[in-house]
Amino acid sequence: MNNSKLKKWGLCILVLIVLKTSFSLATINQLQWFLEPIVTIVELFTRINFTWTADVGFTSNTNIIIEKSCSGTNFYTICLLLLMIKDWNSFNIQGKLLRFLSLIVISFFITILANSMRIISALKLASFPELTNYINPKSSHLILGSIIYILILLSLNHLITKNHEQA
């Protein structure tokens, strides 16, 4: 492995450690900024109003809580690393700080959309009593979320690979 690839893998590992540690240690109050755009989209599509409750998260009068585990920080980390790794050829550590910052922003927006889709889908699924008789809403929420995340990451990977092959 050449020196350039070692630096790039080192950067990916550093980003992984920093993000995972930061998000794991963060409180719900510190992640409010991360959840606010997600909650706005969820409110728009579900017509459920949420209010911020310190140390709890976003709560609704329907007893739904959007809290730390709903933030999608692990997905954000995976998405950013996927974009960094897929962007190896045009990603130069010394001269591409702007490129790296753009990947951070792109990953954030993808996470907002993915997480909003996950929460909206889970809320819609939970509104069908026929289904909740057969599957636990919490389990369906986790399964549905995993499927949505995987499909988005696979689609993103396909899109990036297709664009790199055409270049």
Q: What is the mean pLDDT of residues 137-158?
A: 90
Domain coordinates of the chain in residue numbers? 3-166
Instruction: Give the closest residue to 16 by CA, choosing from 88, 101, 73.
Output: 73
90 DSSP assignment: G
Task: Name the pTM for this structure.
Answer: 0.87
pLDDT at 13 over 60: yes
Contact present, 122 and 149 (Cβ < 8 Å): no
Give residue 43's pLDDT band: very low, low, confident or very high (50, 70, 90).
Answer: very high
